[in-house]
Amino acid sequence: MGWKNPFKEMMNSKPLFLTMYGTVLVGIVISAVYVFSAVYSPDWAISWNISQHVTPSSPNQTLESPSLRVGGGVMSPAPRPEIGKLKPIWEAPPPGSKMPPLETFRLTKELVQERVKDNVVVATFGNYAFLDFILTWVKHLTDLGVENLLVGAMDTKLLEALYWKGVPVFDMGSHMSTIDVGWGSPTFHKMGREKVVLIDSMLPFGFELLMCDTDMVWLKNPLPYLARYPEADVLTSTDQVTPTVTDDRLDNWKEVGGAYNIGIFHWRPTDSAKKLAKEWKEMLLADDNVWDQNGFNDLVHKQLGPPVDDESGLVYAYDGTLKFGLLPASIFCSGHTYFVQAMYQQLRLEPYAVHTTFQYAGTEGKRHRLREAMAFYDPPEYYDSPGGFLTFKPSIPKSLLLDGEHNLQTHFTLVNYQMKQIRTALAIASILNRTLVMPPVWCRLDRLWFSHPGVIVGSMTRQPFICPLDHVFEVHTMLKGLPVEEFGPGINIREYSFFDNPLMPAQVKDSWLDVQLCQGGSENCQTNVTNTRGVLRFPKNSNEETLKKVLSPLKDVKVIQFSSMQDAFLGFADKTREEKFRNRVKRYVGIWCCVDGHDPGHIYYDMYWDEKPDWKPLPPQTREDDQPPW
C-alpha cells in the first residue's frame, strides 16, 4: 500500500481532528526554532566549554593556594560553574579578600545543600594536625571527578586553612587542640563522639551521607557502587581479613567475623538509619567509656538477620528494620587487605578505597604507608631534598627469600640480612648528609597484635611479601627529631617507591650517579672523581674520610645510587659520633609479634644482631627481661 498525502487526509477529517493536527504542527515548528537557537547561542557554547573543564585533574597537582602548584607549574582554578552546579574545589578566594565571620561556616541544611549532587554528600572531619591527610583525601576525590564533598573543621586553624585553599568546609564548633591527639587517647575518643553527633545532625537534612575518616583515601569513585544498593539504609566497611566473596559483591554477612569499621560508611536518611544514629549518639554521650566503633557494632548486632532478599547481600539488622550491608574488604580495603595481602590484585579487582588500619607507628606510620602506595600528596620540596638522595640496590640471596619453611628462624634471617645493609646505608647517608631512600623490605611472616602461625589462616597473604616499613622499623622514631647531643644528626628517609612516583620531578631523576663497588687497588677502582655523570667505580670497605673526600663534593648530583651496601663502609673515624649513631639506629627497629603460648609473645629486632654470636629470635623469657636491646 502506498503512502497517502497527510495534508489531504487532514482536510477531509472532522473539525476536532483538524484542531489536533494544527496543534501538533505548531509544536513541531516551535521546538525546531528553540533547538536551533539553543545550539547556536553563546550560552550553550559557554556551557560546553565548562563541561570540558570538570574532568578529574592531573595526579601531578599539589595543593597550594590560590592555585594548585604542579611541580614547577601552576594550574589555574576551573571556570565558574553554571547555575545549579557545584562550585569548583581549589578555587581560592580572591587575593585581598577577608575571612568571613565564623557563623558563615555553621552547619546548616543550606550549607550542605551547596555541596550535594544526586542527593549525596561525601564528608570527613579532623583538626589541623591532619591537614595534609585532609588535603590528600580531597585531592583524590577531585581527581576522580567527585566534588560533592564537605570537610568538618574541629578547630578554627584548620577551617581557615581549608577556606583559603578553596576547600568546602564547615565549623564543627569543637574548638579542639590543633595537635595530633594520638590513637586511643581520651581526645581521640572525643573525636569519635563528634562523628556520631555529626551524623545524627546531618541525616535529618534529607541527604545521603558517605562519612569517612581522614586516614583513608579514595582510589575509585565509590558513588556508582553505592547506588547499586538503593535499598540499603547503611553500608559499612569492616576489619575482615579473609575473603567471603571473590568478586565485587557485598561481603557475606554470615561469614564476616571482623569488626564493622566506621572509617568508611554510607548512610541514607531513612527512618531506621536516623533511629540508629540517634540511639548511637545517646549511648556514647551517656558513657564516656564506650568507644564509638564498639557502640556501633553492639547496636547493629542487636539483631542480624534474616537477609533482605536472595540477591543483594543486604541483611536486616539493629531493630529488625534496618537494611544493612558490608562493603567488600577486597576493594574497600583495610590496611591489611591492601598493604599486606594485596587482596584486590590477587582477585583481579579494582580497589575503591584504602583505610590505613592494621598499622603501627601512629600517624607517621599511616602517612608512610600511603607514601609507599604513592597515594599521598606531598609538596614539591618533598621530592627535591636540598642535600640530595642516597639509594642502593638491595641484594638478597634466593635461599633467604624462598628456601625452607616460613618460620621464625627463616623470617628473622631474611630481615636481619636486609637490616644490616640498611644500617650501612643509614651511616653513609648520615656522613654525606643525604636523604636515604629506603629499599623495599621483604618478610616471611606477618606482624599482628596477637599470636598466629605466621600469617592469618584463611587470608590471601603470600609468603614472602614486601611488608610495610612499620612491620620492622619504628617509622615514627625515624621521622621525629631525636636530641642531636645524644643521638647525633638526624637522617631523613623516603619510601621505597619514591623514584616511581609521578610527582618526582625529572630534574631529580636525571641527575643520577651510579657508584659501583670494586676491590681497592684493582684497575679503574678510583678514589678521585673526574666525571660526575654515569658511573663511578668506588673501593669497597672505604672509611669515613674517603667517603667524604670523594662523594661529599658532589652537591650538584641529586641522586647517588650504590650498587650494593655489602662491604661498602668500614666505619666512623670519630668514635663519639659512631656511638651517637649507634644510639640512634638501635631505636629505629621495633618488634615482631607474636609467638603462641608465651607471654610476652613479641620478639625484639636488634639492629646490631650480628655483633652477638648467640643471638636467636626468642621472646623475653620473663616480664623483667622485656626490654628493647638498647
Summarize pLDDT for 595-618 with one digit per residue, the tens. 999 999 999 999 999 999 999 999
Give me the sheet containing 512-518, strands edge to edge. 493-494, 435-437, 389-392, 559-562, 512-518, 534-539
Tell me, what's the pLDDT at 71? Answer: 33
Tell me, what's the pLDDT at 315? Answer: 99
Tell me, what's the pLDDT at 481? Answer: 86
Mean per-residue pLDDT, 484-492: 96
Gap between the terminal Cα atoms of the chain: 101
Among 11-20, 80-89, 165-174, 340-349, which is the least confidently predicted range?
11-20
Tell me, what's the pLDDT at 378? Answer: 97
pTM value? 0.85
Tell me, what's the pLDDT at 6? Answer: 39
For 196, the enclosing helix (H) or strand (E) is: helix 186-202
- The neighbour count for residue 259, using CB atoms within 10 Å, is 15
Tell me, what's the pLDDT at 310? Answer: 96
Summarize pLDDT for 126-157 with one digit per residue, the tens. 999 999 999 999 999 999 999 999 999 999 99
User: Helix crossing, 292-300 with 186-202: angle to 10°?
Assistant: 50
What value does the mean pLDDT of the chain take?
87
Tell me, what's the pLDDT at 192? Answer: 73
DSSP E strands, 220-345: 234-238, 260-267, 304-307, 315-317, 322-326, 332-333
| 356: three-class secondary structure by DSSP | coil
My answer on whether omega of the bond before 600 falls inside 30° of 0, hence cis, is: yes
Residue 20, pLDDT > 90, answer no
Residue 59, pLDDT > 50, answer no
Among 329-333, 424-428, 521-525, 613-617, which is the least confidently predicted range?
521-525
Mean per-residue pLDDT, 108-129: 97
Tell me, what's the pLDDT at 67? Answer: 35
**CA Rg value for the chain:** 30
- The neighbour count for residue 81, using CB atoms within 10 Å, is 17
Mean per-residue pLDDT, 264-284: 98
Residue 336 or 32, more confident:
336
Residue 43, pLDDT > 50, answer no
How far apart CA 625 and CA 605 sit, in angstroms, is 14
- How is residue 466 written as a grid cell? 614486601
How far apart CA 111 and CA 5 sit, in angstroms, is 60
Region 105-355: CATH code: 3.90.550.10
Tell me, what's the pLDDT at 84? Answer: 54
Residue 184 or 111, more confident:
111
How far apart CA 295 and CA 299 sit, in angstroms, is 6
Tell me, what's the pLDDT at 186? Answer: 60
Among 71-75, 291-295, 331-335, 360-364, which is the least confidently predicted range?
71-75
Helices (H), 203-250: 223-227
Helices (H), 405-454: 408-432
Residue 78 or 207, more confident:
207
For 393-425, b/e burial (b = at least 16 CB within 10 A) is ebebeeebeeeeebebebbbbbbbbbbbbbbbb
Mean per-residue pLDDT, 401-424: 98
Q: Where are the domains of the chain?
A: 105-355, 385-611
How far apart CA 119 and CA 493 sit, in angstroms, is 44
Q: Count how many residues are written for the chain.
A: 630
Residue 60 or 517, more confident:
517
My answer on whether omega of the bond before 464 falls inside 30° of 0, hence cis, is: yes
How far apart CA 352 and CA 144 sit, in angstroms, is 11
Tell me, what's the pLDDT at 337? Answer: 99
Residue 75 or 100, more confident:
100
Q: Are strands 389-392 and 435-437 parallel, antiparallel or unpaired?
A: parallel
Helices (H), 290-361: 292-300, 335-339, 343-346
| 209: three-class secondary structure by DSSP | strand
Q: Residue 475: pLDDT band by 50, 70, 90 thresholds?
A: very high
Mean per-residue pLDDT, 197-221: 98
Tell me, what's the pLDDT at 51? Answer: 30
Summarize pLDDT for 234-243 with one digit per residue, the tens. 999 999 999 9
**How far is the CA of 233 from the CAs of 156, 194, 227, 355, in angstroms?**
33, 21, 12, 22
Among 46-50, 290-294, 548-552, which is the least confidently predicted range?
46-50
Number of continuous H segments (helices) and E segments (strands) in the chain = 20, 24
Mean per-residue pLDDT, 100-107: 96
- The neighbour count for residue 263, using CB atoms within 10 Å, is 22
CA nearest neighbour of 512 among 547, 550, 556, 552? 556
Tell me, what's the pLDDT at 3? Answer: 40
Tell me, what's the pLDDT at 28? Answer: 43
Tell me, what's the pLDDT at 173? Answer: 84
CA nearest neighbour of 542 among 564, 566, 571, 516? 571
Residue 399, pLDDT > 70, answer yes
- The neighbour count for residue 477, using CB atoms within 10 Å, is 16
Among 22-26, 147-151, 363-367, which is the least confidently predicted range?
22-26
- How is residue 349 written as a grid cell? 579487582
Residue 191, pLDDT > 80, answer no
Q: Residue 322: pLDDT band by 50, 70, 90 thresholds?
A: very high
Q: Are 449 and 594 in contact (CB under 8 A)?
A: yes
Percent of the chain with pLDDT over 90: 79
Tell me, what's the pLDDT at 189? Answer: 59
Tell me, what's the pLDDT at 87? Answer: 92
Q: Residue 522: pLDDT band by 50, 70, 90 thresholds?
A: confident
Residue 592, pLDDT > 80, answer yes
Looking at domain 385-611, its CATH architecture is 3-Layer(aba) Sandwich (3.40)
